[in-house]
Structure 1
């Protein structure tokens, strides 16, 4: 029996022209963007990704009161519950796949899976609450994932000299710290380039295996 036209399976649209993986791409690297709740991970992935970013944001509800970090909740209405995903071509041959982690502690059980296969990480920090960064960096160190620290430039956040921040975060001298405005594509891209340069230096020294 012939099928009616209405029974036909609709065609699944492919990627838009600008979202196809460049034919020149020779290497792909997994990078994770980590940090506490509300530090700008979703914004960074969205600002720098050359494809439509995949997000898993859900509306924040009363159920999270007393459980989640409520810092900034007066303006933040959604939170990442699984991951953010984006892609950026650093060069014609090198592509980065970006995975943003959920910041709320009750979703941290997802981190280990997201860290698998990651070559490096960007730790986003907010100078108004540096304390939330220690657990993040500790988990990366436990997994052996190299990272850099990016200070997100919130308008009302206090500014400190880089070396003061290094001391406050108890960072080794070789770990780069940069300032970043995650809303700006160029600033986010420069942060990722800093990470790639750091990973390259580790590889040359034999510290990256």
Structure 2
């Protein structure tokens, strides 16, 4: 058994309610399960719930070599999307390409212009976990595109006038895993799909 949404999980002893517990596969080491569970469920809701990634979509993923970014890249690629990755070093950009990204860009270049040039119109979906780059993520969208913000690793996002989104019919969606872990059946279903993706080779362990 395991859990995701229980506070103080770093403690030696943790009290979890029965509805917070999920059954885990027996053929994966505990350390691997612990490494995958939270990041994997986060990536899963991002591609399934915040927006539904479909075959043929163009997707921008920030911090694409990080724990969640790596999995979003793999999941979106497995669904048939074309992933454009952002990463801070050559090694991380190469890792993003190995995980399925069709292109990888450096934060120090004009990546918005490069994404727009590569896609011809901008991406359908931009995943932003940096926060301070929110305006650039929006600028990289095609008309009618959506940015999903689910973190602020680089700092607090800027305030945005909603009227600025009218031109281009763009949108911003907030993302938080705890919204979707609201009953035991739902938790278990998500965990089962996550490890099914691992067994099928659509995602890999860290």
The TM-score normalised by the length of structure 1 is 0.36
Normalized per residue, the structure richer in helix is: 2
Larger radius of gyration: 1
Normalized per residue, the structure richer in strand is: 1
Q: Which has the bigger relative contact order, CA under 8 A and spacing at least 6?
A: 1
